[in-house]
């Protein structure tokens, strides 16, 4: 698409919106300005291409399409079938998967589809054999109750939250924590790395139905071959949530033992983050779970979002291009350069560095909580998010860490040299921020003191750093 065409497309869209609700048009334009001027270092965010963004704003939004390709509960879905099939085709080819399901609305939805597919597979197969039924709908209520008694507890073993795991891996605030009896494996207290012997020990003791690997704040690779061996040793289904690092798998930065697709029974992911697509999810699996996965709607999903599936198809097609592999490698190169820049300036990093797209700073060395550090950086034009560190003394709300990632800045074209400059800006803000006090004089975990002049100076420096790497250069809203 030419730059003129991009500008025309987005300008026209905003004109149409403005005629109905100008405040929405203003907010959309303001968001582009904010993203252009801020150092976006949130590890789970990125910038989708203009083609991907435009694919979401069309008539597919008007269509109901419960069911799946060729098996819809609504008529007139032939065009939805086309885009869903294309999204699944690109996903299979990109990741080398036997089956792909493109309907999940988010990573959480993708995980729910996977969890219920695993449970249904475990429940239905023996029940159907015993009842001599051909389909789950033929089972009697007595069949179901008897089988549930035989199965016993539905147990899940996954990475603990403070070690970098995700809320959807069996923790109580999420529905997965009500579906499963969950136990966590952590990381080695000294190194911060996964101890596979300890994971195997926990699996032997707990005997999980599902072993989950994947993370949202673990800055290293995971050996999925070893994790599959552990799952097999206790008869568990091995599931990998690769939402954060899917782009590194797609770009062939993570291969062999570090590519989850050949090793896991089922893999889930988001389509944004390092994959650089629209907000949404995918499920990948082998033929043995494909039928269950394809029941995601209406099993746990609402009506599919055809306009988002169209955007997924576009983004996945982009990820199959040769230049995406170069992009994925630069994500890791930039993350490692950012980590090295922070270490040289005295920052403390969980695991001492990174193998992937993210860096986790322990900000207690600066005398701050994660919440204080997050807000001080935001005041200075640097967008991050607070995150727990292993054995975090400040808990999950205030935290002791800041999670930063490089997918978005890499999309803009920033490289290793700019990562060192970014490390300098981060260190400047954190080293010049002090913890504040509550009205009664006690130490606050939220309040902080930062000279506004310094914050303003760093903000200008961040804007200057980004000036050479314009965001959406083909989009001029006038």
The torsion angle over the Cα atoms of residues 378, 379, 382 and 385, rounded to 10 degrees, is -20
User: 334-351 burial by CB neighbour count: b if 16+ within 10 A, else e?
Assistant: bbbbbbbbbeeeebbbbb
Sign of CA dihedral 311, 312, 314, 319: positive
Q: What is the pLDDT of residue 277?
A: 96
Q: What is the pLDDT of residue 2?
A: 58
Q: What is the pLDDT of residue 47?
A: 96
Domain extent listing, the chain: 61-319, 323-467
10-residue mean pLDDT profile of the chain (478 residues): values are 81 95 96 93 96 95 92 92 97 98 94 89 59 53 55 78 74 72 89 94 93 94 97 94 96 97 97 96 95 88 93 97 97 98 97 97 97 97 94 92 97 97 98 93 92 96 95 90
Q: Which two tokens stand for residue 218?
A: 């673990």
> What is the CATH number assigned to the segment(s) 61-319?
3.40.640.10
CATH class of 323-467: alpha beta
* Residue corresponding to tokens 């007595």: 142
Distance CA 397, CA 388 (A): 8
Sign of CA dihedral 340, 346, 347, 349: positive
- For the stretch 290-301, pLDDT in tens is 999 998 888 888
- For the stretch 109-147, pLDDT in tens is 999 999 889 887 776 655 545 555 445 555 566 655 555
Q: What is the pLDDT of residue 178?
A: 73
Q: What is the pLDDT of residue 315?
A: 97
Q: What is the pLDDT of residue 238?
A: 96
Q: What is the pLDDT of residue 144?
A: 53
Length of the chain: 478
Name the nearest CA neighbour of 158 among 195, 211, 103: 211
Strands 385-387 and 382-383: unpaired
Q: Record the pTM.
A: 0.91
Q: Is 461 exposed, middle or buried (0-12, 13-18, 19+ CB in 10 A)?
A: middle
């Amino acid at each position: 698409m030419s730059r003129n065409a991009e500008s025309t497309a987005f300008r026209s869209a905003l004109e149409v919106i403005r005629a109905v609700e100008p405040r929405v048009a203003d907010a959309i334009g303001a968001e582009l300005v904010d993203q252009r001027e801020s150092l976006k270092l949130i590890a789970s965010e990125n910038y989708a291409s203009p083609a991907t963004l435009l694919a979401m704003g069309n008539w597919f939004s008007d269509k109901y399409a419960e069911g799946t390709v060729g098996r819809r509960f609504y008529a007139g879905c032939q065009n939805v079938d086309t885009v869903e099939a294309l999204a699944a085709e690109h996903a299979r080819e990109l990741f080398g998967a036997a089956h792909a399901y493109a309907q999940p609305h988010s990573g959480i939805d993708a995980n729910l589809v996977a969890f219920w597919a695993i449970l249904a597979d475990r429940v239905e197969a023996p029940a159907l054999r015993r009842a001599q039924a051909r389909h789950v709908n033929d089972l009697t209520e007595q069949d179901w109750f008897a089988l549930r008694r035989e199965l016993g507890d539905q147990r899940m073993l996954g990475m603990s939250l403070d070690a970098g795991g995700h809320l959807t891996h069996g923790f109580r605030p999420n529905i997965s924590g009500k579906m499963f009896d969950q136990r966590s494996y952590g990381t080695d207290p000294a190194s911060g790395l996964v101890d596979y012997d300890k994971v195997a020990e926990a699996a032997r003791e707990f005997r999980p139905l599902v072993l989950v690997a994947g993370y949202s704040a673990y800055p290293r690779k995971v050996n999925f071959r070893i994790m599959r061996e552990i799952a097999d040793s206790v008869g568990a289904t091995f599931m990998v949530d690769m939402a954060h690092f899917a782009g590194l798998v797609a770009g062939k930065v993570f291969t062999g033992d570090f590519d989850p697709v050949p090793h896991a029974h089922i893999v889930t992911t988001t389509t944004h983050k390092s994959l650089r697509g629209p907000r949404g999810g995918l499920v990948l699996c082998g033929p043995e779970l494909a039928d269950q996965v394809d029941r995601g709607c209406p099993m746990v999903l609402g009506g599919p979002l055809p306009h988002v599936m169209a955007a997924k198809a576009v983004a996945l097609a982009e990820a199959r291009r040769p230049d995406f592999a170069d992009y994925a490698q630069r994500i890791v190169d930039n993350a490692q350069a950012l980590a090295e820049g922070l270490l040289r300036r005295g920052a403390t990093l969980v695991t001492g560095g990174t193998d992937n797209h993210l860096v986790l700073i322990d900000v207690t060395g600066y005398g701050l909580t994660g919440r204080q550090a997050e807000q001080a950086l935001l005041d200075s034009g640097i967008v991050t998010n607070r995150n727990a560190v292993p054995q975090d003394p400040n808990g999950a709300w205030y935290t002791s860490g800041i999670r930063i990632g490089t997918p978005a800045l890499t999309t803009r074209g920033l490289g290793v040299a700019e990562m060192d400059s970014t490390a300098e800006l981060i260190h400047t803000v954190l080293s010049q921020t002090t913890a504040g006090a509550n009205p009664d004089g006690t130490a606050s975990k939220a309040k902080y003191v930062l000279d506004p002049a310094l914050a303003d100076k760093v903000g200008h420096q961040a804007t200057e750093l980004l000036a050479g790497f314009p965001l959406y250069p083909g989009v001029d809203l006038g």
